[in-house]
């Protein structure tokens, strides 16, 4: 019977080889060097669209003309949603192309990661996002204002000191590269005179069809030019917080020693039992009191930002839109109205049978992009086929696995936030 025994549910994990953790920056690919390489990696064509043409409000006669806007440049997509919040923000900004760009640039914090993750609406709610998310928000606001907008993608070259500030105020270029790489952003250092002077990386930005001549969109009446805009690229000012680790040290080793005296630790089986939870809570409560006392003695009116440190966008209120990007462009793809599917993060849920501890028949496979799921609660549910199944489910104990809910025969068996 021994070979027929099911495998134990608990699997020993190697702390140095966990199934989750910080991505390995060394495994991030280098940025594409040419338009052809970009096309092969993203699937986006690099062929030009042709001559640009003037446009006022987009009309049926205008759509589809070579080089000008098309219907898709005003449409919703999985990444671009015209929610109530998006429409309200557009009205707040007077549907003005310069105000829209200034607001996104000055209010959305940059997160160094790659691929569309949140979509426009959640980026607006969260106040932060990567270059894909920020471009989606900018495009959504323009489209909601009936101003055609689209994506552009390419390889750019940025001074190393600008990148160091942009990704969080690190002190050496290698740290900036590490953060970019951990986020999956293809990048490589450019060295001159033995020093890293620039970082080459792949980047996404927006292009907007605005009334550029002669006011450079300060007065938008008739669109006549595609203008590139990157609202994700900006610089920050940093304020140092309190050095709590030095001024209020936490005796972590002492807590570990106290726990190990009463806990049962089996390294071979990979488990710990009998941890004194009360001791852990008491130690944390005591440390919290020490921190509160320190802050009250040093600066009782201090804000959270003053204690932990502040990262603040260096605000720039442009009166007109710039003619180009804030960095050097070395290669690019064509423009596109909708992000390709392979540039979106996705959530996949599978449900299957088990055979000797391994997956057997797969019953359900559900996959959807994260921009369509971000900020929403989701549940997998089913309706029992008969009273027999209902009675069976009622007999099971889910108290330690998941919550169940029965409303008019609809059973929720799994929830995912």
Residues ≥6 apart with Cβ < 8 Å to 119: 78, 79, 80, 81, 133, 136, 370, 371, 372, 374
pLDDT digits over 215-226, tens only? 999 999 889 899
pLDDT digits over 241-254, tens only? 888 888 899 998 98
Instruction: Select, from the ranges 139-143, 246-250, 263-267, the one with the highest average predicted confidence (pLDDT).
Output: 139-143
Q: Which residue has the higher pLDDT, 408 or 296?
A: 296
pLDDT of res. 179: 95
The C-alpha atoms of residue 148 and residue 207 are separated, in whole angstroms, by: 9
Q: What are phi and psi of 379, to 5 degrees?
A: -140, 140
Min mean pLDDT across 47-56, 219-228, 263-272, 357-366 is at 47-56
DSSP per-residue string spanning 33-89: -SHHHHHHHH----S-------BSS--TTTTT-TTS--GGGGS--SS----HHHHHH
pLDDT of res. 44: 76
Cα–Cα separations (whole angstroms), residue 381 to 343, 394, 406: 29, 15, 10
Q: Sorting pLDDT into bands at 50, 70 and 90, what band is 2?
A: low
Nearest Cα to Cα of residue 332 among 153, 131, 132, 150: 153
Q: Element (H or E) spanning 407, and its range? A: strand 405-407
Q: How far apart are the first and last CA of the chain?
A: 41
pLDDT of res. 13: 65
Q: 169: how many CB neighbours lie within 10 A of its CB?
A: 15
Nearest Cα to Cα of residue 204 among 233, 227, 176: 233
Q: Sorting pLDDT into bands at 50, 70 and 90, what band is 48?
A: very low
Find the mean pLDDT for residues 215-242: 92
Residues ≥6 apart with Cβ < 8 Å to 360: 352, 353, 354
Find the mean pLDDT for residues 113-134: 96
pLDDT of res. 16: 73
Which residues in 106-120 are b (16+ Cβ under 10 Å) and which e?
eebbbbbbbbbbbbb
Q: Kindly tell me if the per-residue pLDDT of 239 is higher than 70.
A: yes
pLDDT of res. 362: 83
pLDDT of res. 410: 44
Residues ≥6 apart with Cβ < 8 Å to 95: 145, 146, 147
Cα–Cα separations (whole angstroms), residue 132 to 48, 255, 301, 345, 407: 22, 43, 38, 11, 40
pLDDT of res. 32: 93
Location of structure tokens 């020693």: 257
Find the mean pLDDT for residues 160-178: 96
Cα–Cα separations (whole angstroms), residue 20 to 183, 285, 291, 385: 14, 29, 31, 38
pLDDT of res. 58: 42
Q: Percentage of the chain surpassing pLDDT 70?
A: 85
pTM as predicted: 0.78
Check: CB of residue 13 under 8 Å from CB of residue 270.
yes
Q: Kindly tell me if the per-residue pLDDT of 387 is higher than 60.
A: yes
Find the mean pLDDT for residues 147-175: 96
């Amino acid at each position: 019977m021994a070979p027929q025994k099911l495998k134990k549910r608990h699997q020993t994990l190697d702390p140095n080889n966990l199934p989750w953790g910080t991505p390995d920056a060394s495994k991030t690919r280098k940025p594409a060097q040419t338009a052809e390489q970009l096309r092969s990696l993203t699937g986006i064509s690099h062929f030009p669209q042709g001559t640009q043409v003037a446009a006022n409000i987009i009309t049926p006669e205008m759509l589809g003309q070579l080089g000008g806007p098309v219907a898709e440049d005003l449409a919703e997509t999985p990444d671009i949603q015209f929610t109530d919040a998006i429409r309200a923000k557009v009205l707040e900004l007077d549907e003005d192309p310069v105000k829209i760009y200034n607001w996104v640039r000055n209010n959305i914090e940059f997160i160094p990661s790659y691929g569309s993750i949140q979509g426009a609406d959640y980026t607006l709610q969260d106040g932060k996002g990567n270059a894909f998310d920020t471009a989606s928000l900018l495009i959504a606001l323009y489209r909601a204002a009936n101003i055609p907008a689209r994506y552009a993608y390419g390889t750019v070259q940025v001074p190393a000191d600008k990148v160091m500030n942009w990704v969080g105020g690190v002190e050496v270029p290698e740290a900036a590269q590490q953060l970019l790489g951990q986020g999956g952003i293809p990048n490589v250092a450019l060295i001159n005179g033995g020093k890293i002077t620039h970082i080459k990386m792949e980047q996404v930005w927006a292009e907007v069809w605005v009334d550029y001549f002669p006011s450079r969109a300060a007065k938008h009446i008739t669109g006549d030019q595609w203008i590139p805009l990157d609202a994700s690229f900006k610089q920050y000012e940093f304020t140092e917080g309190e050095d709590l680790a030095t001024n209020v040290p936490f005796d972590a080793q002492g807590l570990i020693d106290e726990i190990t005296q009463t806990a049962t630790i089996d390294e071979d089986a990979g488990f710990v039992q009998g941890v004194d939870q009360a001791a852990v809570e008491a130690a944390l409560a005591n440390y919290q009191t020490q921190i509160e006392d320190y802050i009250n003695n040093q600066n009782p009116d201090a804000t959270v930002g003053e204690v932990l440190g502040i990262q603040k966008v260096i605000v720039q209120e442009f009166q007109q839109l710039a003619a180009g990007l804030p960095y050097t462009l070395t290669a690019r793809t064509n423009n596109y109205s909708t992000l390709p599917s392979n540039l979106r993060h996705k959530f996949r849920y599978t449900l299957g049978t088990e055979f000797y501890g391994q997956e057997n028949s797969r019953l359900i496979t559900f996959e959807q992009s994260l921009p369509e799921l971000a900020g929403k609660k989701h549940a997998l549910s089913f309706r029992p086929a008969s009273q027999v199944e209902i009675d069976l489910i009622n007999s099971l104990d889910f108290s330690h696995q998941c919550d169940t809910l029965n409303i008019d025969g609809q059973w929720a068996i799994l929830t995912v936030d």
